[in-house]
Structure 1
Amino acid sequence: MKRGEPLKRLTRLTAKKPMARGKGLKAGGNELKRTTAKPKRARRTGPPPAVMALLAKRSGGWCELGIVCLGNAQATDPSHRIAKGMGGTKDPRSNTAANNTHACRACHDVVERDPAAAYANGWKIRRGLADPTDVPVRHWVHGWVRLDVAGGWSPALEYAPEGES
């Protein structure tokens, strides 16, 4: 065959039926493998609806962090103070009202992007070091408070972080 010469078709192309569902390539040798199992549905791992209702009641539906929105945005996300980690957690405190703040998307993103400020303000707590009910958190409206598992809060009067008085 010379350069620029058109290719010759040796066999005529014919229409074929599509491969039946579940009849993909089989395992063996160097062949490709194809699974026919349905993809798993993402499992909901956030707080249950009852805890989300407690968060909404405590926040009044507005962002509790007020980092970006100054408390003027509707709260949509539960922000875990003790992170669940990539593989999740079996810690029963993870999805309690004390371990979650009700945040808008913008403030939640800031908490995740700036861990130093998040730990300093109690928006994040290092896993295994403390109970969420014992660590004060800076609330946009009420200042330094302690959150409880019943969806309430109490002032943390005795708490003054470094550099504040």
Structure 2
Amino acid sequence: MLEQLQRRSTDPKRRILFTGATIVTMDPDSGVLHAADLLIEGVTIMAVGPGLSPEGAVVVDATGTILAPGFVDTHRHAWETQLRRIMPDVDDLGAYVMSTLAGYATVYRPHDMYVGTKPAALTAIDSGITCMLDFSRTPEQSDAAIQALVDTGIRCSVLWP
């Protein structure tokens, strides 16, 4: 949304004020702020807190939303990171599923999950992604994936059936 708002303006210093949001600051001293405002100038966050002045800003009512830094990746095959250089070329979804889910995944151990997930999370962080979602097949694999994600500092969710 911010990118769209900025694209509509020719002013590189355009100010946008999001009001009334729950803001995840990632600052241990500030924590999560409720009913707070976020002021952006150009592409820089200038201020965060309740009751910020809207002077000269486009105001966006963000009540009922959560604002968090970075991007959220809701579809990352983190467990497959180490497969990227050994996967055969596949030309359709069926071939992919057969080589990964019916092949490699059936012999994956929790340690394999950790080894794949940690560099995937570090790569995500390096790309500006600060939260990701991944899937596991067993509770033990989920525990290993969560540990890898915790070890990198990325926010995360790991689901298993």
TM-score by length of 2: 0.23
Please say which structure displays the higher CA radius of gyration.
Answer: 1
Of Structure 1 and Structure 2, the greater strand share is in: 2
TM-score by length of 1: 0.23
Of Structure 1 and Structure 2, the greater helix share is in: 2
